């Protein structure tokens, strides 16, 4: 389990069991949920449509054997049902705001009953952007429910009437792979539901989504130019194992994740000017676009781009290999520093 997520989850659990720290525990839970949801947002904002129905681990055992969009649907259908049909006894988010129609989903269940190719077929029918909007609405709705809870609510139990309400909603399939969920949820107290559908369940499935994402990125990068438009060597980047690079449709570089349409400004600018990369631009030293809009640490990448302009991409990769042998670093600025000229000197000094 991701260490940071695990630690926050443990902290939340230790806080909510005490009345004096209950509200702080809820705050930690909501913070954890926002951190986790940002992973989903990054994938939705940067990955192409076909990525959401690919199954790179189709024959594996575990949550990573599913698709990205199935995983998102599954997480939030469960939360929607638990939050609204069981806890609040009101209308599920799926049936408000025309979400069901917009998502294109042929089912209203959690999807537990689907296996193998049926998961892939189901995923292809979904509008992943609409599913994301539905899930965001569920997340926001649940957060409001969580904020209103009191410590005394943790011991609240659920009845046969609550179970019947879930059955009558037809939100859970009668398939043996799914129907057990009703007893599982309703046999817990509210505190137990907070610990699973609202937190740990997210962690398990989003970690699985990250495995799927990483596999798709590695596949996309195979045979692709390892130099980013900005001049960064993707091979020597800390994100290399889970970013498909800006030269593929699986770009999860930070400037792609948070830019309109998932497109880094450096990529857009280069394509508009017909450049292979920023290293072909005469104004690179003064540029403040995209990656270069950061603080002085961006100068290290400008140094690699200028080095490419002088000596070529293969030479940069060779020099970066040499530097990796000499120094233990994750980020280029760690070894090249924050000054363009000093960075260039280090690169030139480490040529074969």
Q: pLDDT category, 342, cuts 50, 70, 90?
A: very high
Output the six-digit token pair for 165: 């309400």
Render pLDDT for 110-138 as a digit per residue (tens, 0 to 9): 999 999 999 999 999 999 999 999 999 99
Give percent of the chain above pLDDT 90.
83
If we measure between CA atoms, which residue out of 294, 292, 314 comes closest to residue 303? 292
Mean residue pLDDT across the chain:
94
CA atoms of 80 and 135, how far apart (whole Å)? 9
Q: What is the pLDDT of residue 331?
A: 87
If we measure between CA atoms, which residue out of 68, 2, 11 comes closest to residue 250? 68
Render pLDDT for 299-332 as a digit per residue (tens, 0 to 9): 999 999 999 999 999 999 999 999 999 998 888 9
Residue 281, pLDDT > 90, answer yes
CA atoms of 95 and 183, how far apart (whole Å)? 23
| Reduced DSSP (H G I as helix, E B as strand, rest coil) percent helix, strand, coil of the chain, to 5 | 65, 0, 35
Render pLDDT for 165-186 as a digit per residue (tens, 0 to 9): 999 999 999 999 999 999 999 9
Residue 1, pLDDT > 80, answer no
Residue 284, pLDDT > 90, answer yes
Q: What is the pLDDT of residue 251?
A: 83
For residue 5, the tally of other CB atoms under 10 A from its CB is 19
More confident residue, 219 or 255: 219
Per domain, the residue ranges of the chain are 3-221, 234-349
The torsion angle over the Cα atoms of residues 203, 206, 210 and 211, rounded to 10 degrees, is 80
Task: Give the mean model confidence (pLDDT) for residues 214-218.
Answer: 91
CA atoms of 316 and 170, how far apart (whole Å)? 59
Q: What is the pLDDT of residue 294?
A: 83
Q: Torsion-angle region of residue 92: left (phi > 0), alpha (psi -120 to 50) or beta?
A: beta
Q: Torsion-angle region of residue 327: left (phi > 0), alpha (psi -120 to 50) or beta?
A: beta
Q: Torsion-angle region of residue 116: left (phi > 0), alpha (psi -120 to 50) or beta?
A: left
The whole model's pTM is what?
0.85
Residue 85 CB partners (closer than 8 Å, separation 6+): 92, 165, 166, 169, 171
For residue 128, the tally of other CB atoms under 10 A from its CB is 23
Render pLDDT for 45-103 as a digit per residue (tens, 0 to 9): 889 999 999 999 999 999 999 999 999 999 999 999 999 999 999 999 999 989 999 99
DSSP 156: -
Q: What is the pLDDT of residue 241?
A: 73
For residue 64, the tally of other CB atoms under 10 A from its CB is 21
Q: Provide the sign of the torsion angle of the four alpha carbons 273, 277, 282, 285, taken in this order.
A: positive
Q: What is the pLDDT of residue 31?
A: 98
Task: Give the number of C-alpha atoms closer than 13 A to the C-alpha of residue 149, restricted to the C-beta side.
Answer: 31
């Amino acid at each position: 389990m991701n260490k940071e997520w695990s630690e926050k989850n443990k902290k939340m659990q230790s806080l909510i069991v005490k009345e004096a720290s209950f509200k702080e525990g809820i705050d930690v839970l909501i913070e954890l949920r926002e951190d986790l949801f940002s992973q989903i947002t990054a994938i939705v904002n940067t990955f192409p449509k076909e990525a959401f129905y690919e199954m790179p681990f189709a024959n594996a055992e575990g949550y990573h054997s599913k698709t990205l969009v199935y995983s998102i649907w599954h997480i939030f259908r469960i939360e929607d049902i638990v939050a609204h049909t069981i806890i609040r006894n009101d209308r599920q988010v799926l049936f408000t705001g025309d979400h069901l129609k917009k998502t294109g989903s042929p089912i209203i269940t959690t999807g537990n009953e689907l296996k193998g190719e049926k998961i892939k077929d189901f995923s292809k029918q979904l509008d992943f952007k609409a599913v994301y909007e539905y899930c965001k609405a569920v997340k926001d709705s649940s957060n409001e429910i969580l904020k209103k809870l009191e410590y005394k609510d943790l011991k609240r139990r659920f009845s046969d009437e609550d179970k019947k309400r879930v059955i009558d909603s037809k939100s859970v399939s009668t398939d043996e792979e799914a129907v057990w969920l009703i007893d599982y949820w309703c046999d817990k107290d509210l505190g137990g539901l907070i610990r699973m559908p609202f937190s740990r369940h997210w962690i398990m499935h989003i970690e699985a989504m990250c495995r799927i994402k990483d596999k798709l990125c590695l596949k996309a990068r195979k045979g692709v130019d390892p130099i980013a438009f900005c001049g960064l060597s993707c091979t020597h980047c800390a994100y290399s194992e889970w970013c498909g690079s800006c030269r593929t449709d699986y770009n999860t570089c930070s400037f792609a994740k948070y830019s309109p349409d998932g497109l880094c400004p450096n990529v857009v600018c280069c394509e508009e000017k017909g450049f292979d990369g920023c290293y072909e631009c005469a104004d690179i030293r003064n540029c403040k676009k995209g990656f270069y809009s950061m603080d002085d640490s961006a100068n290290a990448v400008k140094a690699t781009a200028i080095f490419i302009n002088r000596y070529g991409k293969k030479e940069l990769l060779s020099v970066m290999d040499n530097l990796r042998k000499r120094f233990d670093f994750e980020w280029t600025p760690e070894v090249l520093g924050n000054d363009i000229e000093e960075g260039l000197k280090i690169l030139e000094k480490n040529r074969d």
